[in-house]
Amino acid sequence: MDEKELEKLRHSTSHVMAEAVLKLFPEAKLGIGPAIENGFYYDFDLPRPLTPEDLRAIEEEMRKIIKGRHPFIRKEVSREEALQIFKDQPYKIELIQEMPPDEVITIYTQDTFTDLCRGPHLEHTGQIPEDGFKLLSVAGAYWRGDERRPQLQRIYGTVWPTREELEKYLAWLEEVERRDHRRLGKDLDLFSIHPELGAGLVLWHPKGGMIRYLIEEFWRQEHLKAGYQFVFTPHIGRSWLWETSGHLSFYRENMYSPMDIEGQAYYLKPMNCPFHIMIYKSRRRSYRELPLRWAELGTVYRYERSGVLHGLLRVRGFTQDDAHIFCTPEQIEDEILGCLKLTMHLLGAFGFHEYDIALSVRDPQHPEKYIGSDEMWEMAEGALIKALEKMGLSYRREEGEAVFYGPKIDIKIKDALGRAWQCTTIQFDFNIPERFDLTYIGPDGKEHRPYMVHRALLGSMERFLGVLIEHYAGAFPVWLSPVQVRIIPITERHNDYAYKVASRLREEGLRVEVDDGPERMQAKIRQAQLDKIPYMLIVGDKEVREEKVAVRLRSGEDLGPKGLDEFIAMAKEAIAQKK
């Protein structure tokens, strides 16, 4: 079944679910019920919270409707007719009243249920497989996404052409749950978020902090090799900065309220770019200095509604792996190519090798919507395209998706479950150099406007760690594991040897723990596996006598006894190869 047919199946199933809900709760008020990726949902204003038992009852009612093979009947109606049909449905009335006067209003009816809908739908309810759908969960959802409006109950469901496809999808969902970074983050003691501190604000625990340190150190090393310089900027700035950059006019709703400092308004920064701009403007620049590549692991703060916060993936304070490149028009192609090369190198080192790449360019039919000359846009878009083609990267061209101040490349990485995550953005900017009047002195002795590129390769430390946790299901490669080795003495008399081994491994740069608790050896091994420790070294009488260690992997594989030098060489090889 192709995507269009799947969408019809899912949309039709949402209507059947809405009919079933109305039969069980006649006083229900209806919101909207679209098809979504892998399923559908419908929003309801109900007299009480739904329970798991309610979902099962709704499913049974849906099967009765499906068996009735009721046709989906489309009808065009006038605005007055629509208002009369939905006179007891205030959310539908609101939607009708907001429709443009010339819009064709259509309704769809099946059995006893009529909905305001553009369609399309299946021919009849019998085309929905009785054993191919399942209601998954209930969540709160503000009407029209506005937290000042009523909160409705959103029922999520999924439907597939066959039972086998449904079961495959449900198994995939179980794997998604097993990899959930919020649960693993707690189980592995990596991070926490506390209501007492504030929603969307992350505390990095020592083990999570070690992973972040390793990511950042690798990031710094590779950026130095690529010719970047590091800058550091404050967390707040005067309102003038954000007025000049334009953030206060188009981004204010995502910024926190200003602070009054000696009669002047200051804002927490939502972006790092204006600060880098001010460094550029601190003195006159020559073409001989360009390109300038300035990088910062800069922490920014953005207001996100509590309803969209999600562990590490959607937070209110996060650290971007940010950088800005200032260059001449002649240098731009090489700089974009350098960004892409560094991106692929970094992402590959973390185990990501499949990408979904989008090139966002302006709408050629409406050039008036964008700032900058045609020549600038053609040069910028051409530089992005040439760099992608030189790298041999497949991409999707999205006309009209560029922001008004420049074209961009967005790269989504695909994880172990095939899910795409937005990480890398390489963005041209014709706007800020103009707003801040950036110039450099060219070889002709005259002032010229530099080209500017914003780029974040990993995205943010918070989001990237969340993706890493789910990609590896918490079992990080050896080089990223916060604890690489756990030494397990069989009895208390083996503790001294265990600590002697630990001391040697630390001297070699390995991260080591000794489990000298009173539990039995098998319990300690099991706990080390739950903690996703790459190597377990068991030490008993034989190991003490032969000055060896018995090596086990978190997978359960037993590698047997090894000399300490042999184990160290093996571990270092895995680290060097980023395994």
Active site positions, annotated: 273, 302, 320, 322, 324, 408, 454
Residues in Cβ contact with 248 at an 8 Å cutoff, skipping those fewer than 6 apart: 239, 242, 255
H/E stretch holding 204: strand 203-204
Would you say 334 and 284 are in contact if contact means Cβ atoms under 8 Å apart? no
- 3-state helix/strand/coil string of 49-97: CCCHHHHHHHHHHHHHHHHCCCECEEEEECHHHHHHHCCCCHHHHHHHH
DSSP assigned state of 314: B
Nearest to 476 by CA among 413, 416, 386, 408: 416
Nearest to 178 by CA among 469, 478, 492, 541: 469
Nearest to 357 by CA among 331, 380, 385: 385
Q: How far apart are the first and last CA of the chain?
A: 39
Would you say 283 and 447 are in contact if contact means Cβ atoms under 8 Å apart? no
Residues in Cβ contact with 535 at an 8 Å cutoff, skipping those fewer than 6 apart: 478, 484, 485, 486, 551, 552, 553, 554, 567, 571
Q: Letter for the amino acid at 551?
A: V
Would you say 67 and 87 are in contact if contact means Cβ atoms under 8 Å apart? no
- Cα–Cα dist 479/496, whole Å: 27
- Cα–Cα dist 58/25, whole Å: 10
Residue with tokens 């909160």: 151
Residues 445-480 as b or e (16 or more Cβ within 10 Å = b): eeebbbbbbbbbbbbbbbbbbbbbbbbbbbbbbbbb
